[in-house]
Amino acid sequence: MGIADDAVEIRATGWRTLVALHAMIELELERALGESAGLSVVEYTVLDALDRQDGWHMRMQQLARAAALSPSATTRLVTRLEDRGLLTRVLCADDRRGIYSELTAAGRALYETARPVHDAALERVLAEAGERPELAPMVQALHAEPATV
């Protein structure tokens, strides 16, 4: 095998590792959030994104990007959360195509409940992943992130 072939193999292996770590984390978060707040990970992601906007609202597109979802899935996700009274749709005055989503008091309250559970689960699963040799370097990189998303 040449150097180029090695690089291909390394990338493929690294990708499989990333998938494994992603699945492991998501599984645990799904379990913890579902159990404690009846929220899925994407649902939590939306509440989290809205909360990080400091009370301000976000458009469907922004939410779609934050949750890595298609427009249609975002519509339905927002509808679900709206039906549960966790957020409200607000028409945008200056661009009447746009629709803002805004946390309700109940939504913010549920988020406040879910957040520590989420954070604890994440810490736990990352600690566990860090002990597996294949996953450790990527966990390390995850911790080193000073990224502004």
Q: How many residues does the chain have?
A: 149
Residues 10-69 that bind a second copy (CB under 8 A): 10-23, 25, 48, 68
Residues 89-118 that bind DNA (CB under 7 A): 89, 94-99
**40 contributes a contact to DNA by CB under 7 A:** yes
Instruction: Please give the Cα distance from 34 to 93 (Å, whole number).
Output: 36
Minimum distance, C-beta of residue 143 to DNA, in the bound complex (Å):
27
Minimum distance, C-beta of residue 63 to a second copy, in the bound complex (Å):
14
Instruction: Please give the Cα distance from 44 to 115 (Å, whole number).
Output: 8
Q: How many CB atoms lie within 10 A of CB 74?
A: 22
Binding piece for DNA, criterion CB under 7 A, among 10-18, 74-82, 127-135, 140-148 = 74-82
Name the token pair of 48.
Answer: 């989290």
Shortest CA distance to 60 belongs to which of 69, 51, 85?
A: 69
Q: Which of 79, 140 has the CB closer to a second copy?
A: 140
**81 contributes a contact to DNA by CB under 7 A:** no
Within 13 Å, how many C-alpha atoms sit on residue 70's CB side? 2
Point out which residues bind a second copy (CB under 8 A): 7-8, 10-23, 25, 48, 68, 118-119, 122-123, 126, 133-135, 137-138, 140-149
